[in-house]
């Protein structure tokens, strides 16, 4: 079975939006059930939610509606995690400690089961969005398994991001390129997130963030993965905010009564710089394709 390749059309957007909205609505509905019923009742209701989503996914797959089937498979993996978590919590197996702190076999078991469910769903439905779950949950499980928060967790996250980057490069040929997109997304988030964890205070650290953000844009252009350009722009925006605004992450006050001219001018220059870089990269790509 080939990988699902859905073009970005109005129809596909509506299917994506509807399925993801259904997922968030199901989470919210389950939150209401959890607040109004006992743990055992909530666990029972969670089975029904998962069964409905999984059944829809399998029916759509049997009918050849693979895009809808893949999206509901994504929804069902999320609801599977809620279901298993509800039973683990009912049995008293889950820890309420902060994420990535301490070794708790119940939490690790939940993470591992969700990872396995995502891998199985990916093999059955071959839907690229499921790669996001595999890579994301895989990162969380590995980091939780071998670290307990702080710098060591950041180090594991950094190494995981590097490994994912090279894995993504390996997937960038042929049909597997559709899988590679989400691998690169998680690679960029983990690698950049680890660096931002270390470099978020002081002018020198933010200068390092600026350099890495520019490298993200260049790497994204070189391998034709726009996700790195998006993340690079985010890094530039945050670093610009540090140097020009009173609040480090206060990007919003540029548009609501700024107290000094530094912020608006800095972001104006950043915007013009990004336009210039985009024009240069577009010209180079056009020249490479015509050669």
- pLDDT digits over 215-261, tens only? 999 999 999 898 999 999 999 999 988 888 765 444 444 444 455 77
| 271-278: long-range contacts, CB 8 A cutoff, minimum separation 24 | 274/233, 274/236, 277/217
Report DSSP state, residue 206: H
pLDDT on residue 251: 46
pTM of the model: 0.87
Residue 39's pLDDT is what?
A: 92
Burial 108-143 (b: 16+ CB within 10 A, else e): eebbbbbbebbbebbebbbbbbbbbbbbbbbbbbbb
What does the pLDDT look like over 128-180, one tens digit per residue?
999 999 999 999 999 999 988 789 999 999 999 999 999 999 998 777 888 99
d(CA 80, CA 47): 8
Query: Rounded CA gap, 42 and 276, in Å?
Result: 54
What's the mean pLDDT in 78-92? 95
pLDDT in tens, 87-124: 999 999 998 777 777 788 999 999 999 999 999 999 99
- Collapse the DSSP code of 207 into the 3-class scheme (helix H, G, I; strand E, B; otherwise coil) and give the result: helix
Mean pLDDT over each residue of the chain, to the nearest integer: 89
Q: What's the pLDDT at 255?
A: 46
User: Does pLDDT of 31 surpass 50?
Assistant: yes
Note the pLDDT tens digit of each residue in 151-165.
999 999 999 999 999
Q: What percentage of the chain carries pLDDT values higher than 90?
A: 67
% of the chain at pLDDT higher than 70: 92
Per-residue pLDDT, averaged over 51-78, amounts to 95
Q: What's the confidence (pLDDT) of residue 133?
A: 96
Alpha helix (H) ranges present in the chain?
Answer: 10-36, 39-62, 66-90, 105-125, 129-146, 150-171, 177-198, 203-223, 226-244, 262-290
pLDDT of amino acid 291: 61
Residues 23, 78, 145, 92: is their CA dihedral positive or negative? positive
Question: Is residue 74 predicted with pLDDT exceeding 90?
Answer: yes
Residue 102: the pLDDT is 77
Q: What angle do CA 240, 230, 226 make, to 5 degrees?
A: 145
pLDDT tens per residue across span 193-222? 999 999 888 888 999 999 999 999 999 999
């Amino acid at each position: 079975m080939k990988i699902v390749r859905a073009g970005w059309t109005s129809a596909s957007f509506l299917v994506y939006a509807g399925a993801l909205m259904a997922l968030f609505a199901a989470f919210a509905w389950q939150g209401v059930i959890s607040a109004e019923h006992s743990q055992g009742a909530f666990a029972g209701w969670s089975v029904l939610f998962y069964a409905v989503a999984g059944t829809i996914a399998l029916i759509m797959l049997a009918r050849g509606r693979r895009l809808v089937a893949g999206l509901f498979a994504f929804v069902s993996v999320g609801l599977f995690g809620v279901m298993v978590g509800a039973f683990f919590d009912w049995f008293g197996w889950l820890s309420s400690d902060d994420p990535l702190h301490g070794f708790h076999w119940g939490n690790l078991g939940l993470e591992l089961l969700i990872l396995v469910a995502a891998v199985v769903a990916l093999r059955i439905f071959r839907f690229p969005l499921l790669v996001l779950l595999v890579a994301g949950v895989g990162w969380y499980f590995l980091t939780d398994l071998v670290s307990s928060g702080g710098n060591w967790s950041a180090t594991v996250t950094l190494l995981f991001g590097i490994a994912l980057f090279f894995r993504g490069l390996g997937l960038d040929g042929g049909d597997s390129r559709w899988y590679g997109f989400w691998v690169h997304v998680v690679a960029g988030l983990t690698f950049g997130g680890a660096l931002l964890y270390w470099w978020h205070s002081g002018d020198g650290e933010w200068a390092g963030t600026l350099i890495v953000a520019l490298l993200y844009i260049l790497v994204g252009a070189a391998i034709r993965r726009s996700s790195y350009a998006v993340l690079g722009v985010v890094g530039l925006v945050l670093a610009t905010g540090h140097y020009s605004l009173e609040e480090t992450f206060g990007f919003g006050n540029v548009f609501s009564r700024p107290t000094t001219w530094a912020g608006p001018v800095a972001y104006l220059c950043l915007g013009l710089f990004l336009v210039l870089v985009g024009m240069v990269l577009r010209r180079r790509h056009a020249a490479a394709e015509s050669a």
